[in-house]
Structure formats: structure tokens, C-alpha cells
Amino acid sequence: MKIKLKISFKMIFIILTTSILIYIGTIGYISIKFEENSIIDAKKLADSYVREYAYISKSSLDADIYATRTMSQTMEGYLNINPETRRIVYNNMLRSVLENNPHFVSVWDSWELMFIDSLWNKPHGRLSIAYYRLNDEINIVIDSLDLLSDNITSTYYKIKISGKETITNPYFYSYTNQKIDEILETSLVIPIINNDEFVGLTGIDVSLERFQNIIDTVQPFKNSYAFMVANNGTYVAHPNKKYVGKLITAINPDYLKYTNIIENVQQGKNFSFILNDQNEENETYITFAPIIFGKTQTPWSIGIVVPLKTIMDEAKSHFNISVTVGIIGLLLLTIVIWIISTNIVRPLIKTTNSLKKLSKGHIGESEMIFVKSKDEIGDIAKSVNVLIQGLNKTANFANEIGKGNFNAEFKQLSDKDTLGNSILEMRNSLQTAKDEETKRKTQERNFIWSSEGIGLFGKILRQDNDNIEKLSYNIISNLVSYLKANIGGFYLINEKDETNIFFELIAFVGFNKIKYNKKEIYPGENLVGRCIQEKETIFVNDIPDKYIIISSGLGSSNPSSILIVPLIHNEELIGIVEIESLKNIEKYQITFVEKVSEIIASTILKAKINVRTNQLLEQSQTQADELAQQEEEMRQNMEEMQATQEEASKKEVETRGIIEAINSSLLVTEYDMKGKIILVNDKLLEIYNVKRELVIGKQHSSSLFTDDKNNKKFKAFWEDMKSGKVKSIEESVICDNKTVWLSSKYTPLINKEGEPYKVLKTSIDISNIQLLENKLLKLKELKKEKLTKSRKKKIEPQKAVKEKQIPQIEELFGKDFKFQYINLTYINKVFKGDLKKIQNILTVYIKTIPDHIEEFKDIYKQKKWKLLQSKANSIKSKMGYLGLIKLQKKSKIIYQKSIDKKHLAELPDLIAEIEGIWKKTEEELIKIIKL
């Protein structure tokens, strides 16, 4: 049985049911796609953010790497610097770099000893010098390392082998050696290469706190956060500061279920994964981007963690708004259908057909209802027509929005036009999103422009560092070109006259003749002079008429803007940059010029130092040429002086022999002018049988003063000494209960001012003579009557003895005092044939010469050639004193080879020959001493 339904009910049921089904299907499809697209877009945005902040992080350290690289390149020319001043120059440079970069913790270098120490020939061993900050003071530490062998596990050795720039993994370090003062830092290390050889390296230590500041600002989504890890997986920065300095795999071991994080970081990959949780609502998207600092091969990575629930909540919010709008639309449609169904009678079919088409989305102008009646049906038709027109306008407006025309006009059907209002809200939301995207892209474009500019000027500033004018022109011409300006001037301070300080126009681009003629600018004079006084950037876009005219083929005009930036390094004004443009100079361009000006100021200052250094080097070269000429002249004079020097050497040996003879034969005592003993020789201590420390400081005493109760004789005696009188006396001293008689001579020694400053006492033991004299006195008393005969008998035996002694000495030494190895002719003349004295001096040589030979061996092993020269010259003189011609010649050969540093391998054989000849000579000397 068919149920007959009313037309109104049919219209409501059919049209509404159809609309609902279409709406549900559309909403279902849109919700699925919307969710998928939201996640995809969020991932892309997160990936974009992580790459952007990776670039920012890279830029943060690239400038420091550039500074380190500049130091390394400067030190590559170490051979061009005088070795005596080289370390001073480099120490000043290290200290200057640390002072001018407050964010540096330490600046240091390390040199292979074989390249800086000519006496070091081992492939290992290095000298390290570091400057570091401690309590706002700069300290230095110097250390010698790897002297025994290279530490093959150290970072230094790895860089030595690879020769590559390196950034070390983070490490905690305290310059006070206290745990509480530890900071997390890294080292930027650049090798020093000279002629493809590793000479050493230089580096800086920087705190990683700056990366924490960058990470704290990164939050692309609600509840999202960022972190940074080093090449070995150590957290460099993290919102939870307890994680900093710890391995990511130790803090987040669940990451290893999805990817090998440390391997991907070390390979410099972009990678991401979704971290699943037992609760699917807590899924997290984690994305990584590599950070490659300079030319290092140990990339770091920055990561962003985004909860997917945050993204979905935002997507669901938009979706719920769309559903609400749809439901309101369905309700509105139901009311309209109800009105139409209750009022349409006669034009039902026509109206129904129109509504059916309308329900299917056909809203063209051809679907409008033309009813002439002015009753309810007419009103319905009119309403339908108005609806169709409104939907057409809405569709056209939506199409314009789809084309990106957010300025298209649209008028709602009424104040309560929900669909129209929703469309307008959608338009406003899209317009805001577009504006934000445009702003972000502009900022990103400006950032890239600035970064590329810094890179460009980094290359420019590395060139022509030895020519200030050429470097200045390259800077200003490239700066004007990069800013797309028209005129540029580069002013540097003139330091030639300290009483007349002004800034000189060194280089310019596009200046007219009037401006060019004004090359000297003084403080306070026009805009440049004002900048000199204030040391602040000046930007003017309200230019006075005829301030400067920019000319071209099309005419002349005033600039639209002028930018004047000071070049300041370490609070010192180095120069001024002036830029003038027909276009307005943007704020980001001004910021760029200010940033580049800091690098330019530092480079110009270094360039000035380089120019001064080159001038000094040229001056040194000129002086070296002059010295070479003088050396040739001196060489000729040296040949003439050689004979004189040999004669002086012989006299020196003679003097030494006399001093040694005096000390071996006489008792020597030195007094100050108050009569206190200040020096005694070993011979005196032996006679007195007393220790030196018991004698030094004692007051002068003598048998001269034994009966002097008031000390008058003592005072008179020393008054004579102070007046410079020489006294010879005989005196007695009681030692070990026996009396020792001495023949003493007191000689005051005179200083440069002609005044006595000490007294030298030389004594001879005459105890035996005194005993003989006593015996003679007794004999004289006993034989007083036969004095004449006794004397005759005594004189004749004495002559006989002398006649016998002389042949014995000649027979002992030979007529010319020559033996198989030695020749005592010279020493015999010195000591006038005194056999005892000759034996004493020969005993000294027997004791000392073997020690000299052993020193030869040790010095050769240590390769200390200058010391070997000195020792060879000394022993050569001693051999001449003894007449050892063979040993003298061997010593002379060793002396010459140690100077020329040629055929040094022959030295051990020469030393062995000297040792062999001396052993035979020693046997000959021992025989002479025993005679």
C-alpha cells in the first residue's frame, strides 16, 4: 500500500535528506583530508623551522671559526718573522684576539718543536701557549707536551694526521679547578700548514651557553620545544638544563627504536620520525637538521619535538567550526523549503525544478524563477531568486579568494548572513595567514641576503691585507654594489700627526669633483664629522638640497637616503663608511652594514699591522744586506786578528797556570777592609787542618799583635792597608799544638775608583827554614872560632850540589824538555824549572782532562753544538799549554766541525782518538810526577 505524502513533506524529506547526505559525505571526506594535510603541513613547517635555526646556529659559530682561521693563516708565515721576536708577536696577537672577543673563553696555539727549535729533531713534542679568562683577568699558561711520543688517541694527533678544521665535542672545564665553576664549552681548532707540512694548530674555546639562548626561543607550535646535540650525541642545549652535557641515547633510549640517531648526526643527515606512545594521543613528531660549522667534518644537529595532539586539536577546532556553519546552513535551507512547500501551489513544478537544481549546487543566473504574481508564490520566487543571486555572489567571492584576490568586494545578504559572515571570516583568516607568510619570507630573504653578504665580505677581507688603499676600495665598491646604492666613501683616521687628528677619504665610488676635493674631514664637520664625534650610526632620508648630486646619463638628482656608519674596534674609532643612494636604504640593510663594519674595522686594524710588519721585514732585509757586507769586511779583519787571538789564548793559559800554581804552592787569604776573612784556599785549610766555614768571617789575628794590649798595632796595621801600603812580614800561627812559621805579604787591591776594597794575603810555609836557622844559630855559637873555614867548606859542597842538580834536571827533561807525547818547554819557562810546581800543575791536568773528554761525549749525544765549540776551544788551549800537538789538532777539528755542522758523524771517532792518546799521555805524566 502506497502512502500518500504531502508535497511539503516530500519537499522537506527529499531535499533535506539529500542535502544531509551530501553534507555528511563532504564533511567526512574533508575531515579525513584536512587531518592528513594538517599533519603534513605541520611536519613541513617543523622541518622548515629546524633548518632555519640550524642555519642561525651555524652562523653563530662561523664567525668564530673565521677568526680562528685568520689566526692560523697569519701564523703560516712564521718563517718570515724573526725567531727572537716571533713568540712575542704571536702572544700579543692571541691576547688581542681574546681581549677583543669577550665571548671567547680561551685563545691558544700549539707548535711542533721540530719547526721552532733548531736543536729538536724528533717527530714528536710540542709547545702549547694559551690565554684564558679568569675573574675578568687574562692569564697565560705555557706547557710542553708529547715530548716522549705522540698521544695517538688525542684530538691533537687526529688533527695532525688529517690536517682538517675541527670543532671538538662539548666538554665541561673549570679554569679554577673547582667543580662549581665548570662550564660547557667546545674548541674550534684550525691546523697551521706550511708547504703542505703540519706545523701546529691554533684554536679558541667558546662557551655553549649561546646555543641555550637560541634553543629557548624556538617554539613553532604550542607545547613544542627544540634541542641541540653535538657530533657524539651529547646534548649541547635543551629546555631541561639537567640534560646538557649528557648523551641523548642515555636520556632518551627509546629514540633508538626508530633510528640510529648518533650515526645520522655524524653523517650530517636531515631525518625525522614519529615517537609512538602507549596512548596514541601522545604521539610526537621529532625532526633533525644538520649544522656544519665552517670546513669541519664533524656536524652537529638541531632537533624540534612537536606533539601531534597539538596539531590535531587545532585542526579539529577548524573542522568543528565548519560543521557548525554547515548545520546552520542546513537549518536555514530547511526553513526556506518549508516556506516554499507551504506557499507554492500553481508554479509548483517550475519552482520544484528550480529548487531541485539548486539543491544539486546549480546556482547559475539561468536557474532563477520568473513569476509575475505578487502573492506569496511571487515572494517565494523572489526569495529563491535572491538566494540564487546571493549564492552566486558568495561563489564568485569564494572563487576570487581561491585565486588569491583577498581584496575582492563582497556584501552579505544581511547582517545575519551566517554564510556570508563565515566567508568573510575565512577571507580575513587567509589574508592574515598570507601576510604572516609574506612577512616570514621577507625576513628569511633578508636573513639569507645578510648571511650571503657576510660570506662575500669575508672573502673580500681576506684579500689584499698588505695594501690598505686597495683593500679599502674593494670594500667600499663591493658594499655600494651589494646595497645597490650609488655613491660610497671610505674614511680612515690619519695617525701621522697626533696633534692634528682628522679622517682621510681613502677610497670612494661615484663622488663628484667637489666632494672628492674635500678629502680631509675633522670632527664636527658635516654629517661625517658628526659621526666621528658621536661614534653612532647616522641615517638621513631628508636630504638637504645640493648636499651631493648623483649624476647619470639620464640626469642628476639628490640622493633619497644617506647612511654613515662608524668603524669601531675595541671601542676605538678606526674609520667611517658613507653610503648614498637614490633608493631608500632599508632597516635590514642598515643592520647588515653595522654588522659588517665590525668585521671591517677588525680587518683594517689587522691590515695596518700587516703593513707595518712588512715594512719592518723590508727594513730588516735591508739591514741584513748591510750586515752581510759588513760581515765580509769583518771576515777579512778576523783573519788578521786570528794570530792575535792565539797569542791571547796562550797568555790566558799562562795566567790560569800562574793562578793554579799560586793556589797549589802558596797559602792565600782574602780580608775585607775591616780585617774579616772572606776567602781562603785549600792549601791554607790543609796546613791549618780546619774546615772552611770555621774560618770565613773570623777577625784577622797574628803574632804581630800578641803584645798589643790596647789594640794599637792592629789599628795601625789596617790603617796602612786602607792607605794602600804593601807589607811583607814573618809571623807564626799555632796549629794542632805546633807552631807554623809563615812568610806573608799583605797587598791591598784597588777598585776602579782608586780605593782599596779588600786585602790579598799570600803566605809561604817557612817552618823548616826557621828550624834550620835556629840550628844554624846554635852551630854558630858552638863553632864561632872556625867560622871562616866552615863557610868555605859549606860553600864548596853547595856548588857541587848545584853542579850535580843541573845535569840531573837536563837529563830528566832532555835538552829541549820534549817527550814522546808532551813538550814541557813552555811550562818549564812559566815555573822556571821548579820541579815541584811543574808536578803540581801536571797533577791538576790528570784529574781534569778525563772529565773534559766525558763532557765531549755527553754534549755530542745532546747535540748542543755551541757548547761543544766552547769545550773544544777550552781543551785546545790546555793541550797547547802542555805541548800536546796531536790532541790540540784533534780538538781544533772538533771545534771547526761543530761550527760548520758538517760530517758530525765523525765526531765520536775523533773523541775516541783523543781519549786513546790521552791515556798514553797520562802514563807519561804519572812517571814525571813520581820523579
Q: Output the pLDDT for position 409.
A: 74
Residue 184 — φ and ψ, nearest 5°?
-85, 125
pLDDT at 804 over 60: no
- How far apart, in whole angstroms, are the C-alpha atoms of residue 297 and residue 165? 8
- How far apart, in whole angstroms, are the C-alpha atoms of residue 543 and residue 896? 80
Ranges 10-24, 528-542, 727-741, most confident: 528-542
Q: Output the pLDDT for position 192.
A: 92
Q: Output the pLDDT for position 572.
A: 86
DSSP 322-383: HHHHHHHHHHHHHHHHHHHHHH--TTHHHHHHHHHHHHTT---GGG-------SHHHHHHHH
Q: Output the pLDDT for position 808.
A: 39
Give the contacts of 145 (CB within 8 A, at least 6 positions apart).
Answer: 110, 125, 126, 127, 128, 156
pLDDT digits (tens, 9 = 90+) for 639-697: 656 666 666 667 667 667 667 767 776 888 899 988 889 888 888 888 777 888 888 88
Q: Do strands 137-145 and 271-275 pair parallel, antiparallel, or not at all (unpaired)?
A: unpaired
Answer for the pair 905, 899: CB distance below 8 angstroms, yes or no: no
Q: Do strands 487-494 and 126-134 pair parallel, antiparallel, or not at all (unpaired)?
A: unpaired
Q: How many residues in the chain? A: 931
Cα within 13 Å of Cα(895), Cβ side = 14
Strands (E), 223-351: 225-229, 235-237, 271-275, 284-291, 300-307
Cα–Cα separations (whole angstroms), residue 192 to 76, 149, 196: 6, 20, 10
- How far apart, in whole angstroms, are the C-alpha atoms of residue 49 and residue 221? 10
Least confident interval from 16-25, 388-397, 629-638, 862-871: 629-638
pLDDT at 768 over 90: no
pLDDT at 802 over 50: no
Q: Output the pLDDT for position 300.
A: 93
pLDDT at 893 over 80: yes
- How far apart, in whole angstroms, are the C-alpha atoms of residue 188 and residue 204? 5
Q: Output the pLDDT for position 6.
A: 61
- How far apart, in whole angstroms, are the C-alpha atoms of residue 850 and residue 914? 10
pLDDT at 629 over 60: no
Q: What angle do CA 655, 657, 663 make, to 5 degrees?
A: 105
pLDDT at 137 over 80: yes
DSSP class of residue 670?
Answer: E
pLDDT digits (tens, 9 = 90+) for 487-540: 899 999 887 766 778 888 888 887 765 555 557 888 888 888 889 888 899 998
pLDDT at 347 over 80: no
pLDDT at 69 over 50: yes
Cα within 13 Å of Cα(234), Cβ side = 17
pLDDT digits (tens, 9 = 90+) for 870-888: 778 777 767 776 777 878 8
Q: Output the pLDDT for position 374.
A: 63
b/e map 725-762, b = 16+ CB within 10 Å: eeeeeebbbeeeeeebbbbbebbbeeeeeeebebbebb
- How far apart, in whole angstroms, are the C-alpha atoms of residue 447 and residue 441? 10
Q: Output the pLDDT for position 318.
A: 66
Strands (E), 32-103: none
Structure-block grid coordinates of residue 865? 753544538
Report which of 754, 748, 755, 735 is spatially closest to residue 670, judged by C-alpha positions.
748
Answer for the pair 528, 492: CB distance below 8 angstroms, yes or no: no
Q: What angle do CA 108, 113, 116 make, to 5 degrees?
A: 85
- How far apart, in whole angstroms, are the C-alpha atoms of residue 666 and residue 682? 10
Give the contacts of 688 (CB within 8 A, at least 6 positions apart).
Answer: 695, 733, 735, 740
Q: What angle do CA 675, 676, 679 make, to 5 degrees?
A: 120
Question: How many angstroms separate the most distant Cα atoms in the chain?
Answer: 200
- How far apart, in whole angstroms, are the C-alpha atoms of residue 245 and residue 207? 12
% the chain with pLDDT above 90: 9
Q: Output the pLDDT for position 202.
A: 94
Q: Output the pLDDT for position 421.
A: 79
Across residues 200-218, what is the average pLDDT? 88
Give the contacts of 709 (CB within 8 A, at least 6 positions apart).
Answer: none
Three-state SS at 203: strand
Q: Output the pLDDT for position 363.
A: 65
Least confident interval from 103-107, 179-183, 489-493, 784-788: 784-788
DSSP 122-182: -S--EEEEEEEEETTEEEEEEEEE-SSS--TTSHHHHHHHH---EEPPPEEE-TTS-GGG-
Q: Output the pLDDT for position 816.
A: 45
- How far apart, in whole angstroms, are the C-alpha atoms of residue 199 and residue 182? 31
- The set of long-range contacts for 889-896, using a CB threshold of 8 Å and a minimum separation of 24, is 890/914, 890/917, 894/856, 894/868, 895/869
- How far apart, in whole angstroms, are the C-alpha atoms of residue 227 and residue 301? 9
Going 581 to 585 to 588 to 592, the CA torsion angle's sign is: positive
Cα within 13 Å of Cα(561), Cβ side = 14
Q: How far apart are the first and last CA of the chain?
A: 166
- How far apart, in whole angstroms, are the C-alpha atoms of residue 162 and residue 178? 34
Least confident interval from 164-178, 346-360, 738-752: 346-360
pLDDT digits (tens, 9 = 90+) for 843-864: 877 877 888 888 888 888 888 8
Q: Output the pLDDT for position 913.
A: 86
Q: Output the pLDDT for position 724.
A: 86
Structure-block grid coordinates of residue 402? 581561491
Report which of 507, 581, 589, 583 is spatially closest to residue 550, judged by C-alpha positions.
581
Q: Output the pLDDT for position 228.
A: 93
Report which of 155, 302, 162 is spatially closest to residue 231, judged by C-alpha positions.
302
pLDDT at 588 over 80: yes
pLDDT at 174 over 80: yes
pLDDT at 389 over 60: yes
Kindly report the pTM of this predicted structure. 0.37
Answer for the pair 201, 159: CB distance below 8 angstroms, yes or no: yes
Alpha carbon 485 to its chain centroid, in Å, reads: 38
- How far apart, in whole angstroms, are the C-alpha atoms of residue 561 and residue 553? 21
Q: Please state, rounded to an integer, the average pLDDT across all residues of the chain.
A: 78
- The set of long-range contacts for 507-514, using a CB threshold of 8 Å and a minimum separation of 24, is 507/469, 507/472, 507/473, 507/475, 507/476, 507/477, 508/476, 509/476, 509/477, 509/480, 510/480, 510/486, 510/550, 511/487, 511/548, 512/548, 512/549, 512/551
- How far apart, in whole angstroms, are the C-alpha atoms of residue 300 and residue 269? 10
Instruction: Calculate the CA dihedral of residues 291, 292, 298, 302 and round it to 10 degrees.
Output: 0
Cα within 13 Å of Cα(132), Cβ side = 19
Cα–Cα separations (whole angstroms), residue 778 to 357, 766, 781, 794, 844: 173, 18, 5, 16, 41
- The set of long-range contacts for 375-379, using a CB threshold of 8 Å and a minimum separation of 24, is 376/343, 377/343, 377/344, 377/345, 377/346, 377/347, 377/351, 379/343
